Amino acid sequence: MITLYTIGSLWGLPDPSPFVMKTEVQLKMSGLPFTTRKSRPPEAPKGKLPYIEDQGVLIGDSTFIREHLERRYGVDLDADLSPRQRAIAWTAERVVEDHLYWATIYARWGVRENFDKGPAIFFGGAPPEVVEAGRARVLENLHGQGFGRHSLAEVADLAGRSFAALSELIGDEPYLSGAAMCGADATLFAGLAAVATPHFDTPVRDALLRFPNLVAYHDRIMARFYPAFAWAEPALA
C-alpha cells in the first residue's frame, strides 16, 4: 500500500500545500490504492511535503513521485496526449509551480494579516521571536526569487498575466487537453485552489476570479475529487 504524507486539511482546503493536493489527485487518477498520513517537513526525505512511502522506499517531490508511479506501475496520466500536448502540459505546470506558487506564498506570508491567520499556525505557539524569524526566512526566499522585491499590487499583476495565459489554454474545454484529464490538470487545479480559498482575501485571488473559465475549471475538479471541500459560495464569488 502506498502512503502519501500530507499536512492535512486546513484553510478550507484538502491540504494547504498545492504540491500535496497535486499528488493526491494524481494518485486518485491512477486508480492505485493508497492511504494518507500526516507528517511534517523535517520528517520528509527532501525536507518538504509531499512524500510517499512505497514498499519501504521513500520518494520526495511531487514530480518524482509521479515519475515513480508511472515507472513502477505502468501508469501514464498523459496516455491520450500528443507530443505537442505533453509539451503544453509541462509548460502549464511550470507556470503554476514556478510562478503562481510564489504569488501564493507572497499572499500568505507577505501580507501580515494573512500570515497571522494562516502560516503562523505552523509554529505551534512558539515564542514571537521564533515565529518572526521563521517568517523572515520565507520572505528572504521570496526576495531571492524576485517576487519579494515587488509590491502586492505588482505581484497580483504578474499573477494575473499567468492566469490570463492559463485561461487561454483552457478555453472552453473542460480540461487542459480537452475532454479527458491529464497529469498537469492536477497541478493546475491545485495551484488555483491554493489561490482561490476564501480564507485569504488578496489581490492575487481577485486576479484569478476575473477568469470565469478558470473558476469553473477549479470548481469542476474540486467537486470531482474533493466533494466535501466544494465551497458553498457559488463560483467562488
124: left (phi over 0), alpha (psi -120 to 50) or beta: left
User: Both 54 and 123 in a single domain?
Assistant: no
- pTM, to two decimals: 0.95
Judge whether 38 lies within some domain: yes
Residues facing residue 54 across a β-bridge: 57
User: Both 69 and 97 in a single domain?
Assistant: no
- Res. 7: pLDDT tops 50: yes
- Res. 14: pLDDT tops 50: yes
Share of the chain above pLDDT 90, in %: 94
Judge whether 158 lies within some domain: yes
Q: What is the CATH number of the domain that holds 220?
A: 1.20.1050.10
User: Both 93 and 46 in a single domain?
Assistant: no
Judge whether 168 lies within some domain: yes
- Res. 111: pLDDT tops 90: yes
- Res. 5: pLDDT tops 80: yes
- At which of 45, 73, 101 does a domain end? 73
Judge whether 78 lies within some domain: no
Judge whether 189 lies within some domain: yes
φ and ψ at 92, to 5 degrees? -60, -40
Cβ contacts of residue 147 below 8 Å, gap of 6+?
A: 102, 103, 105, 106, 155, 158
pLDDT at position 115, please? 98
- Res. 3: pLDDT tops 60: yes
**Distance between CA atoms of 230 and 219, rounded to whole angstroms?**
7
pLDDT at position 234, please? 42
Q: What is the mean pLDDT of residues 191-219?
A: 97
User: Both 47 and 87 in a single domain?
Assistant: no
pLDDT at position 231, please? 59
pLDDT at position 103, please? 98
User: Both 57 and 92 in a single domain?
Assistant: no
Judge whether 126 lies within some domain: yes
- Res. 204: pLDDT tops 90: yes
Element (H, E) at 49: none
Cis peptide before 50 (omega within 30 of 0): yes
Candidate from 34-38, 61-65, 121-125, 187-191 with smallest mean pLDDT: 121-125
User: Both 26 and 134 in a single domain?
Assistant: no
Q: What is the CATH number of the domain that holds 54?
A: 3.40.30.10
Per the prediction, the chain carries an average pLDDT of 95
Per-residue pLDDT of 148-198, as tens digits, reads 999 999 999 999 999 999 999 999 999 999 999 999 999 999 999 999 999
User: Both 96 and 158 in a single domain?
Assistant: yes
User: Both 116 and 158 in a single domain?
Assistant: yes
**Distance between CA atoms of 237 and 234, rounded to whole angstroms?**
6
Judge whether 119 lies within some domain: yes
Residues facing residue 4 across a β-bridge: 36, 52
User: Both 13 and 60 in a single domain?
Assistant: yes
Structurally, the chain folds into a number of domains equal to 2
Question: DSSP H helical segments within the chain, as ranges?
Answer: 18-30, 62-73, 83-95, 101-105, 112-117, 128-145, 152-170, 183-196, 203-209, 212-225
pLDDT at position 86, please? 96
Q: What is the mean pLDDT of residues 104-115?
A: 97
- At which of 73, 102, 122 does a domain end? 73
Residue 23, class by beta-carbon neighbours within 10 Å (0-12 exposed, 13-18 middle, 19+ buried)? buried
CB distance 189 to 221 below 8 Å: yes
User: Both 101 and 157 in a single domain?
Assistant: yes
Domain that holds residue 216: 83-236
Share of the chain above pLDDT 70, in %: 97
Judge whether 26 lies within some domain: yes
Alpha carbon 143 to its chain's center: 21
pLDDT at position 232, please? 43
- What confidence category does residue 125 fall into, taking pLDDT thresholds of 50, 70 and 90? confident
Cβ contacts of residue 10 below 8 Å, gap of 6+?
A: 16, 121
